[in-house]
Amino acid sequence: MVFMEITQEQQRLRDLQEQLRYHNYRYYIINDPVISDLEFDRYYRELLELEDKYPDFKTQDSPTQRAGTQPSEAFARLAHPAPILSLDNAFSAQELNAWLDRINKLDPRVERSAFSLEPKLDGLTVVLHYENGIFARGATRGNSEVGEEITENLRTIRTMPLRIPQNPDGPPPPEYLVVRGEAFITLPDFEKMNEELIARGERTYVNPRNTAAGSLRQLDSSLVAKKPLTLLVYQIVVNSDGNPPTQIETLEYLEMMGFPVPDYDFCSNLENVIESLDKWESLKETLDYEIDGVVIKINDLELAETLGIVGKAPRGAIAFKFPAQIVTTKLEKIKVNVGRTGVITPYAVLTPVEIGGVTVKQATLHNFDFIKEKDIREGDRVMIKRAGEVIPYVMGPVKDLRTGNEYEFSPPKFCPVCKESVEHFKGEVAWYCVNAGCEAQLIRNIEHFVSRPAMDIVGLGIKIVEQLAQEGLIQNVSDLYQLNRDELLTLDGFGEKKADNLLGAIQLSKTQPLARLITALGIRGVGEVVASTLASHFGDLNALGNASLDVLENIPGIGPNIAVAIQDWFLKAANLKILINLKTSDVWPTNEIVDQNLVENQPLNGKNFVITGTLEGYSRTELKEYLQSLGARVIGSVSAKTDYVVVGANPGSKFEKARELGISVLSEIELNQLFSSIIHGN
Ligand code: IVH
């Protein structure tokens, strides 16, 4: 055999193939990428160019030779009825123009062509098969020809139609319809899910994309059902009744069938495309899901098809990527925060860096295991990502840039605030400061106690809480009710009016219902929903405190972890003192114990309500409580099961959705009429 010397460029080509294979694996198989999409794209393009120059090196197994990745062995395989293609990318207006020039040369009709412009959703591609209108099976993209069959997992996505059309006046379903869409988790749902995990002392997820992809590729669909996955559909793969002639009509057709479709723009020419690009780039920040660009598609699908395919990407569409919300900067130091429940969480202090117009100085590091798994060290250059409203987070270190001046981090053994030792509970990833007297916890506890969904003490912000704690006027939440006017007047910035207002607000909070007081105590895992269940079950704090684990666990919605947390809370001497003080200060609301037999007779029993927009006469929490007291359920998103959507000023997309699904919409006036007819019994 003859060994040929290979050039530096050829070696680089091979290295890139190797690296991209590895990053494909991290991204698609274990859903745990260590480089950003932008970097991946950059390497990919460099490889394409090198392979163009040295075609002999373009091996069959090069990462450029396939659109996705091999389906995992763990799932059955499902062949796609047509290839599930990917998209070429453009990173600038020049590249967009170059694309248009290229395809215009192939077919001059492009010049007069219209376009559709859609958000490029950052999730997992799914392919859904419907037979005579019934969802029959579904798959991931896999290697573009064959995907992993994940039918049962897909069924758990509440927004995915199990039958089409969803609405009675929709068009008749074709005998066979295969559509393609993107499954993902919205940013608010993602944050809520992580907050609940923190409350239970469990490990949080790093980002919505990988959480969505990871959960859909889980073998146990009951675990998938627990994730707040959602879906948007944007393409017809096969339709036995024939396809609509344009992309815009395709989206309209899908919408009429009851599929959730993305928002889109019709652009009659290139100028409109550029305007729409600008619009989406600024809109990006306000969306409640992550997008990393927009997809521009030739509207005329016959023309698009004539243009053909290069590699695995059709020429008739292109993804325009926005500048990434990912940057690298130096991680100067790892510090820790002490939360309300004593949970200790690490965060990164960064050399300030701008991401999307915002200067970022700190980023979350999730938990100590994350730092260890990613081998993040103080002094490392790290990749930081910022998406929408989510707190910026550290993705991982850029190990190639290490200089030797980086230091491994060990989790603290003592609370950074009170210096007591920290503890780890069995089965939880978090570390806790268990000293109930810790000042950090005291401040967070009081902040929580006075917050809007809890005792709602207006005018008692974080600054005043800190001031009261530092001056030694409050050592726990019950001390708030012992504050007197003379003490307050000695504080910086307190005049008579401010002192009286504060004392008035504290006094008023004594009339808050029991559910709010239970929420306010800040027991691990006990949020508004659990608190309201406990309030109607026990009627007062004494009964709750005396409940055995057995009794607690038998209440629907209360799992063993929450039951233990409740019992632990009531067993702590410091908390008993708080309870006694609350009682002597007359902060002792009671509730009627709700007999489950009576629940059925409540006027709004079993009705599902969604609230959107701002109401004049009620805060969200108030209205929610009132509706619940009438037997209704208040849920976060609109679905076919929703009975009423209450619409205030500046409603969100839930209003649109309600109209689409033909769900009864109530204005505030109509809502009040409903309440009044309930009260008057007509
Ligand atoms: S069209 C031939 N439209 O982006 C049609 N793709 O980088 C190709 N994606 O694998 C897909 N939003 O999973 C299309 N509105 C959208 C999209 C979209 C997200 C994903 C899709 C594809 C990837 C390409």
Nearest to 17 by CA among 72, 66, 61, 52: 61
Nearest-angstrom CA–CA distance, 115 and 296: 7
Residue 120 · residue 88 · CB < 8 Å: no
Nearest-angstrom CA–CA distance, 203 and 492: 41
- Structure confidence at residue 680 (pLDDT): 67
Structure tokens at 317: 């569409």
Which of the listed residues 41, 88, 121, 284 should we mutate to test ligand 1's pocket, taking the one with most ligand atoms within 8 A of CB?
A: 121
Residue 274 · residue 374 · CB < 8 Å: no
Terminal CA-to-CA distance of the chain, rounded, Å? 95
pLDDT, tens only, 552-563: 988 877 778 889
From the CA of 314, give the closest atom in ligand 1: 2
Average pLDDT of the chain to the nearest whole number: 86
Check whether 594 has a pLDDT greater than 70: no
Helices (H), 107-240: 151-155, 187-199, 208-216, 221-224
- Report pTM: 0.55
- Structure confidence at residue 67 (pLDDT): 46
Check whether 191 has a pLDDT greater than 90: no
58 is catalytic: no
- Residue bearing the bigger pLDDT, 425 or 480: 480
SS3 203: coil
Nearest-angstrom CA–CA distance, 530 and 628: 13
Helix axes 37-53, 8-24, angle to 10 degrees: 140
- Output the CA 223–ligand 1 centroid distance in Å: 27
Would the CB of 125 count as within 6 Å of ligand 1? yes
- Structure confidence at residue 30 (pLDDT): 62
Would the CB of 85 count as within 6 Å of ligand 1? yes
CA dihedral 402, 373, 408, 340 (to 10 degrees): 130
From the CA of 67, give the closest atom in ligand 1: 10
Q: Which of 161-170, 340-349, 374-383, 456-465 has the highest mean pLDDT?
A: 374-383
Tell me which of 380-389, 524-533, 606-615 is least confident: 380-389
pLDDT, tens only, 637-653: 788 888 999 988 777 77
Would the CB of 86 count as within 6 Å of ligand 1? yes
- Structure confidence at residue 258 (pLDDT): 87
From the CA of 119, give the closest atom in ligand 1: 15
Nearest to 615 by CA among 646, 645, 644: 646
Element (H, E) at 331: strand 326-338
User: Residue 487 CB: number of other CB atoms within 10 A?
Assistant: 14
Q: How many residues make up the chain in this entry? A: 682
Which of the listed residues 84, 182, 237, 284 should we mutate to test ligand 1's pocket, taking the one with most ligand atoms within 8 A of CB?
A: 182
Check whether 236 has a pLDDT greater than 60: yes
pLDDT, tens only, 64-114: 765 445 555 678 899 999 999 999 988 888 889 999 999 999 999 999 999
From the CA of 89, give the closest atom in ligand 1: 7
Percent of the chain with pLDDT over 70: 94
- Structure confidence at residue 72 (pLDDT): 57
User: Residue 662 CB: number of other CB atoms within 10 A?
Assistant: 12
- Residue bearing the bigger pLDDT, 600 or 487: 487
DSSP track, 257-321: TT------EEESSHHHHHHHHHHHHHHGGG-SS-EEEEEEEESBHHHHHHH-EETTEETTEEEEE
Check whether 388 has a pLDDT greater than 80: no
Q: Can you tell me the mean pLDDT for 611-624?
A: 78
- Output the CA 86–ligand 1 centroid distance in Å: 6
Q: Can you tell me the mean pLDDT for 482-491?
A: 93
- Structure confidence at residue 612 (pLDDT): 84
- Output the CA 127–ligand 1 centroid distance in Å: 12
Distance from the Cα of residue 401 to its chain's centroid:
31
Q: Can you tell me the mean pLDDT for 437-457?
A: 88
From the CA of 85, give the closest atom in ligand 1: 2
Active site residue: 58, 120, 497, 583, which one? 120
- Structure confidence at residue 417 (pLDDT): 87
pLDDT, tens only, 400-443: 889 999 999 999 999 988 888 888 876 677 888 877 678 888 88
Nearest-angstrom CA–CA distance, 149 and 216: 10
Residue 463 · residue 494 · CB < 8 Å: no
Pairing, β 431-433 against β 608-612: unpaired
Check whether 302 has a pLDDT greater than 50: yes
Check whether 158 has a pLDDT greater than 60: yes
- Output the CA 297–ligand 1 centroid distance in Å: 10
φ and ψ of 361, to 5 deg: -115, -20
Residue 378 · residue 406 · CB < 8 Å: yes
φ and ψ of 118, to 5 deg: -130, 155
φ and ψ of 517, to 5 deg: -65, -40
Look at ligand 1, atom 6, and give the residue with the nearest C-alpha.
Answer: 120
User: Residue 600 CB: number of other CB atoms within 10 A?
Assistant: 9
Look at ligand 1, atom 12, and give the residue with the nearest C-alpha.
Answer: 120
Q: Which of 33-42, 356-365, 480-489, 565-574 has the highest mean pLDDT?
A: 480-489
Would the CB of 121 count as within 6 Å of ligand 1? yes
Residue 613 · residue 648 · CB < 8 Å: yes
DSSP state of 479: G
- Structure confidence at residue 176 (pLDDT): 96
